[in-house]
Amino acid sequence: MRLIETKDLVVRYGDVTALRDVDFAIDSGEIVTVIGPNGSGKSSFIRALTGVVPPTAGQVWRKPGLRLGYVPQKLAVDARMPLTVQRFLSLPDRRCGDEVDLMLARVGVPGLQARQMSALSGGQFQRVLLARALLTRPDLLILDEATQGLDQPGTAAFYRLIEDVRNDTGAAILMVSHDLHVVMSASERVLCMNGHICCQGKPDIVTAAPEYRALFGFGTEGTMALYQHRAHSHSHDGCSHAEDAHAE
Ligand SMILES: Nc1ncnc2c1ncn2[C@@H]1O[C@H](COP(=O)(O)OP(=O)(O)OP(=O)(O)O)[C@@H](O)[C@H]1O
């Protein structure tokens, strides 16, 4: 089932055009990864999809009653302010202990209810953010640089969890990353942004290749894949993928 669709989407802030000509759609159960360098319009795209920013031109269609779950890049928690995991997960909607128990177990961090948010490790924190998003039973889960700060085994474990969530709930997943090459292997599609969609395709699952082993080691168990960019007519400032792009 179609969840969101954009047609000729343009987002402008005053004189700055953050995004132009974006045609996009995502269906239930799909995993799509959006990659692009800093300033390429990824956040603007998410803001337009979620309705935080209105399109300057073009259209954004959302399935009526669409439930969105959002896992932010980071969330500042004031260490001086006491905030337990249970309380955090009950904001803004009150959640009973059993519901929180089950969800924390589901995301692989059982028994954390009484812990302070400020005392969690990076990986635990991300899983608690994911638990909060999942408590809303989303049709579409958007993850914004959700594995930033996690090491490679932590990222692999998080990717496995996201794939399980998709398989269990049928939710669509939209991952946003500024890593231009390494993506979640379960992504059905990768979109490369640079003010517009400059290329898109499937990631290459190359787990058997020695180059892959050299890059990822042995801890990722096939959760990560490489995205090969098609030749662009432009280069991306501050990143190298224009040089190693290849034509199909
Ligand atoms: N509120 C705003 N007002 C003016 N310009 C903005 C605003 N938000 C974003 N921009 C500009 O729009 C362009 C795209 O920014 P955006 O944050 O969407 O990119 P991004 O790919 O998410 O970047 P990053 O990876 O650094 O988070 C940039 O040139 C940015 O400076």
Q: What is the ipTM of this complex?
A: 0.97
- Over 50: is that where the pLDDT of 130 sits? yes
The pick from 12, 16, 176, 196 for probing ligand 1's pocket by mutation, whose C-beta has the most ligand atoms within 8 angstroms, reads: 16
CA distance 28 to 198: 24
Q: Which residues pair with 183 in a beta bridge?
A: 225
pLDDT at 86 over 50: yes
Structural domains present in the chain: 1-67+172-220 (3.40.50.300)
- Residue 152: what are its φ and ψ, rounded to 5°? -65, -45
55 in contact with ligand 1, CB cutoff 6 A: no
Q: With both helix axes pointing from N to C terminus, report the angle between 122-134 and 97-106 in degrees, rounded to the nearest 10.
A: 120
Instruction: Please give the distance, rounded to the nearest whole angstrom, from the Cα atom of residue 52 to the centre of ligand 1.
Output: 14
- The answer to whether the beta carbons of residues 47 and 11 sit under 8 Å apart is yes
Nearest residue (by CA) to ligand 1, atom 12, is 18
pLDDT score, position 97: 72
Return the SS3 of 7.
strand
**pTM, full prediction:** 0.86
